Amino acid sequence: MNNRIFDALACGLPVISDCCDELREIFPEAVLYYSNKEEFHQCVKEIENNYEEVKAKVDEQWPVIKEKYSFEARARNWRRLWRNTERRIHGFNKTISKILIIIPAYNEAGCIEKVVDNLERNYPQYDYVVINDGSTDDTRKICARRGYNFMDLPVNTGLSGAIKSGMRYANYYGYDYVLQLDGDGQHDPKYIEDMITEMERTGCDIVIGSRFKTKRKPVNFRMIGSQLLTYAIMITTGGKYIGDVTSGMRLFNKRMIKRFGYDINYSPEPDTLAYLLNCGVKIEEVQVEMHERIAGTSYLDFKNSIWYMMKMFFSIFIFQWVRRREKGDKK
């Protein structure tokens, strides 16, 4: 594609171009396309007769161009490619950051660009990897087209499988910390430093980005379920309290990276928190604010939420007591 097309659109000028599938995918309506002489004349007449309407469609593209195709966006892409290339050249003993952000993504085509672009633009000090968990939408295509650092799982393994893959990646490359960040845009990376500070201050193994560290839970069906899980963990751990047991924003230290990467007993769910507390793992919380999903809907509808709660209660009250414990863990 000719870069002058982007320059012209950025200046608010109508563009006529021959048919190009890649360009049509980016600008399906803002550019007028032709494949023969007659269609070219029609494009010219369209501009002459409906200039204001054509101009309005062009003006709508400015945010897209600024976000993805401006000089700053291209600079970010080059920086990302350099970071990934440097890592591959130097191998697992060379990491750009001591922190890796794991972004599990299943059918997050509507969200993943904004999530990753926000990281690259505002938090370049952190490394990240998108775990495309067998998505059936365009998540993989977007990651490949944008040059994101991502792992492509051939089938959907669920959240546990995606996190386990990311933890093994982090262990292989020698990271000190891993942050789990959902691919739907609900988690705000601005709290990462606070979570790292809390981990270093307390010497804990896991820090949870909690919506309810200093704030009360709202009264609704999902929060009632969350509170019941909090009580279940308190009952089975001798009174240890975790306010936001279902938060998916969690920071793990090097010890937990290996455990979650290679031990089948470790999954990113509330029942594992109870199990870990009983094994002597120290867990802290940091107050955060979370956003609504950028796009799409959560898989936890009413029916799935009931089933999820039943599984968690069974595991917390019964199954965790027969889980195998690592050497040195409390019995």
209 forms bridges with which residues in the sheet?
286
Contact 181, 254 (CB under 8 A): no
**Is pLDDT above 50 for 331?**
no
Radius of gyration for the alpha carbons in the chain, expressed in angstroms and rounded: 24
What torsion do the CA atoms of 240, 259, 127, 101 make, to the nearest 10 degrees? -40
Whether this prediction's pTM lies above 0.75 is answered by no
Find the mean pLDDT for residues 297-301: 64
pLDDT in tens, 27-68: 888 899 999 999 999 999 999 999 999 999 989 888 877 777
105 forms bridges with which residues in the sheet?
132
Contact 269, 313 (CB under 8 A): no
Over pLDDT 90: what percentage of the chain? 58
CA-to-CA distance for 287 and 219, rounded, in angstroms? 19
Closest CA to 104 of 124, 134, 83, 146: 134
CA-to-CA distance for 271 and 12, rounded, in angstroms? 55
User: Which DSSP symbol is given to 280?
Assistant: T
Which domains does the chain possess?
3-68 (no CATH), 80-322 (3.90.550.10)
pLDDT in tens, 231-261: 999 999 999 999 999 999 999 999 999 999 9
CA-to-CA distance for 108 and 137, rounded, in angstroms? 8
**Taken in order 133, 180, 272, 108, is the CA torsion positive or negative?**
negative
